[in-house]
Amino acid sequence: MKIYKSCKTLSLFRFQEILDTKEYKYLIHDWEDVVIDEDLQKELNETWSEIFKEYLTLKDDGEIKASFRQLALISKMTTKLVICSSLLDAYVCQSTRKGRKDYSNELRTWGYKIDPLKPLQNQVNRIISQLKTLKSSIQIKEKAYEKQYKKELTQEKISIDEQIANVEEWLGKNHIDSEKTTVSRWIAYIKRVEKKVKKQKAA
């Protein structure tokens, strides 16, 4: 079984299909004949993550990188909110000291401390208040992200075929085959077009 593992081997067509469908099966050369089990799915997830990191590095687009950093931070904060809310609920429901200790230890790893020698309700209320503050921070960051990248999120996307046609025109190429052109080659074409555009504007 052949799996494409870099921008130098993955075709533009497959890359675009993954972006559009979120289906990582396109990383597999003959995916129609493969049964994707849990272990393979995990491998494909990790492979795609590495390929996309490589893509961002090759493209060297500061705005895209900043956008993904912001999304990653929001995702991390949301994960913390969900997990810690569940842990706190489970802690309160425990009837044994050992059970509560297990959950308090887990909460401590996320930065929320519970002292068994102090009144329980006061500490639970304190953590609930901290989680509410975290939730508010997430909402603020989400609104800021939406406002900052609203144009990018709402504007009509140019299809890959239109992009190819534009690149062919700028570079004077007769035909760019998305199934034979690798992602790294495509980025090289894009950068060449960008240089031509800048040169033309400067003239």
* Three-class SS of 80-102: HHHHHHHHHHHHHHCCCHHHHHH
pLDDT 10s digits, 96-128: 888 888 899 999 999 999 988 888 899 999 999
- Asked if 92 and 65 touch (Cβ cutoff 8 Å), the reply is no
Structure tokens at 95: 């009837």
pTM of the model: 0.57
Mean confidence (pLDDT) of the chain: 87
The Cα-based distances of 131 to 68, 100, 109, 124, 152 in angstroms read 24, 19, 15, 10, 31
Q: What is the pLDDT of residue 61?
A: 66
pLDDT 10s digits, 56-95: 888 876 666 677 778 778 888 998 999 999 999 999 898 8
